[in-house]
Chains A and B, each alone.
Chain A
Amino acid sequence: MAPPFLAARGLSKSFGPNEVLKGIEFEVHAGRNVALCGENGAGKSTLIKLLTGLYSPTAGQVEFEGEKAGWSDPRQSLAAGIAVVHQEFSVLGALSIAENIYLGAEPRTRLGLIDRKALARNAQALLDDLGITLPPNDLVETLSVADKQMVEIAKALRAEAKVLILDEPTAVLSQNETRHLFRIINDLRERGMGLVYVSHRLDEIFEICTDITVIKDGVVTSKGPTEEYTHDSVIAAMVGRELGDLFPPKASDPLAGEQVLQVRDLVVAPGLPPASFSVHAGEILGLAGLVGSGRTELALALFGAAPATGDVTLDGEPMPFRDPVGCIDAGMLMLTESRKDDGLFMNSSVARNFAATTPGYGVHHSAIPPGHEERRAAVLKERRGVVVDHVGLPISALSGGNQQKVLVARLLENRPKLLILDEPTRGVDVGAKAEIYKTLRMLADEGMALLVISSELIEIVGLCDRVFVMRDGALAKELTGEEITEEAIITVAAAETSTHHGVAA
């Protein structure tokens, strides 16, 4: 058998006294797609950084085609044929697709100027080759998130690559877009490229990966061909627990509680059908649907953060659609979709982030005593499972999962009547997910009404007592109890769009 394109041999990495990776054995062969699984903080990112030469190993070595690589700079690994698509986009909005793809490697005319014709020609050829139908001269800022992802992949593959590393490529994609990405990935693999696929989504891993390598606490705990695995065995290798343990039992009678939120004829944007529904105390209501189906817009309208018309009452009190201030005062809180953009204060301390909401300060119209925030934030470590050395550290120092735990803890401090959660477990590892699910169910059991938006079907199915599937801005179908299955949701969510919008449920 030919040596693997890329391999780690006894690879270890320490940062000071912390040993992050210990004796990692990992290989990517031609025509294989290896899933790299592990919880947040297991060491996946560190391994990728070692494989591409961004970090140098403490012990062991990286081998490329059977030879020791010894890269000390990602440019060297790139030149050798290791391409990486990172989780965070690096495309520039003000440049065209072609300019982005060849950024820093533009074809030149004899005078040394950028050869625009060759640029467009090469870009077109590359996009055609990848089966991406985007006009190379369009500006990237006009593209959807999914198309930006495509540009990102094209950019990674502009030079001849032998190995392509994809770090959570579908985190921001809808199901249709994910399908398109999978076709491209499979095509590349069949052409003999080796791929490394990092994802938290097990369904995807089982669909497109040929091999699985699981890392836990910096050690490879399991690896082999995908056929040898089940969902449960992968999760067991990642966290030492079964899938069934992930979700707490659902409410026995979710509609028994009072109607906390009543929505009548809510119109979020002109031309969309009015939505009417209610959320009961003690239930977790799910909003499913494709990205762009109007779930987030609906939630933002309820929270007063987007203009809308209609009647919304919370505990019988009418809600004005003014701004989040009024909604928070009335007893509504929302966890937003994007932690970094509108959830966290990245330069502020963990403690201050925790205390940031109105009633969260616990003091009114008087001086905040010194150390008040930090004393209050002690609860994060004691009861909310946040791993942090000191709550005075800036929150940017925390891992994504711990940041999300702080946000969820912040919501809990305020005891709202209605809690809206938009993608509550985005970028969070399985262990932290289970904790969040448990917490949400506990809140429901205590009588809170919860509205959960999620793109992860398994989450909707496992967590929610009742589900509305959205399509084209409308509540297309209501599912309850046993009806809530992944198939039922997909069938409604991905149904052909008709010219007339579906009737609101």
Chain B
Amino acid sequence: MTATATNTSVKPNRNTVRATQRRELLMLLGFLVVIWAVTTALSPRFLSPANLKDILIQAAPLGFVVIGQMIVIIVRGLDLSVASIMATVAVLSTSLIDVTPLIFAVGLLLGAMIGAVNGYLVAYRHVTPFLATLATMIVLQGIRFAYTGGAPGGSLPETFRFLATGSIFGIPVALIALTVTAFAMHWLLERTIFGRRLKLFGDSPEAAYMTGAPTKLLQVMAYVISGVMAALAGLFLVGYVGIVDNWTGRGYELDSIAAAVIGGAALSGGKGSVPGVLLAALILVSLFNIVVILGLSIELQLVIKGTLIILAAAVYMKQSQS
């Protein structure tokens, strides 16, 4: 038995960590294709370029948020403050400045700072991620309402609107931004020592510590990334909607967690991929669109979303046992 092991080493093994990940990705992709195909059969309008473009633009903000959320989940965390960050960053930075590049600069900085606070609480003060980010969420909400007096105003600069709704060569700018970000984050996660360490830390914080990983810094950085991603999402979302609202991004905290889990991130840490969670975000947004296209009741969307989470959890559980 052992003697033959070396000879068979070249043949691909379907149980390797990577093969399992690839299978999960294919499953997600297959699911997306199936729901798109079914919807198209029922209503050909679904596959029209205009509608697909709509889906993609709508998916962009969730795409940013879910990447950040996944990275926090990889280090065994959870970020409940992402929606609050989206709104707070949008409200503060658009009311302070009206030059588009500066809005983004200030907004991302703000997101990073809030993320750093989350990370500090979790890594250095040992607050559980759930409580730390819940507290941040509430505090931000208070600050936001105090600042705006309940009714945010101000107009958005034209270039800002263009970034969220406009297209270059027919491709929506928001989508280009998301694609660039996704590639960068994928590279960070899969090809750098930092990224490897995020995953190793999530797999075993104790072993990571004993093998010399800067464990506290890793956690802080994960929350900082999540904060920056949420800030980006908030800015693109207000640009898309056209008005700044105190509740911008409402529900994104749970949607992003749902998308991360459906996309293969394990709440027990150490697992998750950018393509996986982006596919999951696309599935969630598609479902919303499908419900509208087919003229079904909105409530159905919630039922489908919940069912999907349970389904995903069951499938991944089975995967990890095989």
Instruction: Give the residues from 36 to 92 in chain A that come closer than 8 angstroms, CB to CB, to chain B.
Output: none
B212 close to A329 (CB less than 8 A) = yes
Q: Is the CB of B13 within 8 A of A352?
A: no
B217 → chain A closest CB, angstroms:
10
Asked if B214 contacts A325 (CB within 8 A), the reply is yes
A-contacting 9-mer, from B2-10, B28-36, B107-115, B238-246: B2-10
- The chain B residue with its CB closest to the CB of A388 is B5
Q: Is B18 an interface residue (CB 8 A)?
A: yes
Q: Is the CB of B193 within 8 A of A389?
A: no
Scoring B12, B193, B208, B209 by chain A CB atoms within 10 A of each residue's CB, the highest score goes to B193
Write the chain A residue with the least CB distance to B193.
A361
Binding site for A on B (CB under 8 A): 1-2, 5-6, 8-9, 12-13, 15-19, 187, 191-193, 196, 199-200, 203-204, 206-214, 270-271, 320
CB pair A343 B16 closer than 8 Å: no
A107 to B173, CA, bound (A): 69
User: Whose C-beta in chain B lies nearest to the C-beta of A326?
Assistant: B212
Q: For A389, give its contact among B5, B191, B192, B320 (CB under 8 Å).
A: B5
Closest to B3 in A: A387
The 3 closest A-B pairs by CB, nearest first: A392-B16, A342-B206, A328-B212
Which residues of chain B are within 8 angstroms of A370 by Cβ–Cβ distance? 191
Q: Which residues of A contact B208 (CB under 8 A)?
A: 345, 356
Closest Cβ of chain B to A375, distance in Å, is 12
The answer on a CB contact under 8 Å between B191 and A387 is no
User: What are the residues of chain A within 8 A of B212 when measuring CB–CB?
Assistant: 324-325, 327-329, 357-358
Collect the chain B residues with CB atoms within 8 Å of residue A336's CB.
Answer: 210
Interface SS of B by simple majority: helix
Interface status of A497 (Cβ within 8 A of chain B): no
Q: Which residue of A lies closest to B204 (CB)?
A: A345
A327 CA to B209 CA in the complex, in Å?
12
Please tell me which one of the listed residues A329, A361, A387 contacts residue B196 in the complex, with CB atoms under 8 A apart: A361
User: A116 to nearest B CB, angstroms?
Assistant: 33
Contacts of A345 in B (CB 8 A): 200, 203-204, 207-208, 270
**Across the interface, do B193 and A356 meet the contact criterion of CB distance under 8 Å?**
no
Cβ contact of A356, chosen from B8, B16, B200, B270, cutoff 8 A: B200
Count of CB-CB pairs between chains A and B under 8 Å: 105
Describe A's contact surface by its main secondary structure.
loop
Determine the chain A residues whose CB is within 8 A of the CB of B8 once the complex forms: 389
Bound complex: CA A305 to CA B16 (Å): 33
Closest A residue to B1 using CB positions: A18
**How far apart are A204's CB and chain B's nearest CB, in angstroms?**
28
Task: Return B188 CB to nearest CB of chain A, in Å.
Answer: 10
Which A residues between 323 and 358 are near B, CB-CB below 8 angstroms? 323-325, 327-329, 334, 336, 341-349, 352, 355-358
Q: Which residue of the partner chain A has the closest CB to B199?
A: A348
B193 contacts which chain A residues (CB < 8 A)? 361, 363-364, 368
Please tell me if A320 contacts chain B, counting CB pairs below 8 Å.
Answer: no
- Tell me the complex Cα distance, A27–B193, Å: 54
Closest to B214 in A: A325
A355-391 vs B, Cβ < 8 Å mask (1 yes, 0 no): 1111001011001101000000000010000011110
Some 19 contacts from A to B, beta carbons below 8 A apart, are: A324-B209, A324-B211, A341-B206, A342-B210, A345-B204, A345-B207, A347-B271, A348-B17, A348-B270, A349-B16, A352-B196, A356-B196, A361-B193, A361-B196, A364-B193, A389-B5, A390-B15, A390-B16, A393-B13
